[in-house]
Amino acid sequence: MVGADTGECGARAFAGDGSAAGEHCGGLRNAAVRRGVSRALSKCENISVDYAVLEPRSAKGEHLSDLYCLSAEFSWNDLGSWASLYEYQLETRLRGDGDGNVADTEGHMAIDAANNYIFSPRKFVALVGVENLVIIDTEDALLIAHRDHSQDVGKIVKELGISGRTQLI
């Protein structure tokens, strides 16, 4: 959890120029403020919060960073890719069949298929003879990737932006 002051400072640090992104953090309930923050954040480098905010702030030293930590014991998974979501759901037994297929679907059937992650909430999905795939079906796009390459989705996002298909991002 990040407090308003730290969040504002972090957002300013995240923007890189020390000013724009954190200007309106206190009034996010206002639509105009949300638009302003959205514009400012769109100028920020697309990196994770830990690299953009936490590491630079903690480098200032324990007593100068305005970051505070509480000790806690809990499991953690970054869930930064479809593969990590698959692993989390399989480990916590939220979903998964006897062959390691994890499905968020209207139903699925698997024959000689193992260790796949399927997200297709409005369709029945049949798997035959496939292993270690990530299959993500949304209203406007279908992604099929090997689980070992699921973090490469960012490359697709980049190419979609370059080719002008931003409606899919």
Q: Confirm whether pTM is higher than 0.85.
A: no
Residue 123 confidence class, pLDDT cut points 50, 70, 90: very high
Q: H or E stretch including 157?
A: helix 153-162
User: Among all chains, which residue has been given the structure tokens 């939220």?
Assistant: 94
Taking residues 61-75, what's their average pLDDT? 71
More confidently predicted of 130 and 73? 130
100 beta partners: none
Would you state the pLDDT for residue 8? Answer: 46
φ and ψ at residue 24, rounded to 5 degrees: -115, 20
Q: pLDDT over 70 for what percent of the chain?
A: 72
Q: For the chain, first and last CA: distance in Å?
A: 28
Q: Which residues contact 168 (CB under 8 A, 6 or more apart)?
A: 140, 141, 160
Q: Between residues 103 and 68, which one has the greater pLDDT?
A: 103
For 4-40, what is each residue's pLDDT tens digit? 444 444 444 444 444 444 444 455 567 887 788 888 8
Q: Do 82 and 134 touch, CB atoms closer than 8 A?
A: yes
Backbone CA torsion sign across 158, 162, 165, 167: positive
Q: What is the pLDDT of residue 37?
A: 80
- On the question of pLDDT at 1 being above 50, the answer is no
Whether residue 117 is predicted with pLDDT greater than 90 in this model: the reply is: yes
Of 28-42, 102-116, 122-136, give the lowest mean pLDDT range.
28-42
Query: What is the DSSP-derived secondary structure letter of residue 92?
Result: T
pLDDT digits (tens, 9 = 90+) for 142-162: 999 999 998 898 899 999 999
According to the model, what pLDDT value does residue 60 have? 66
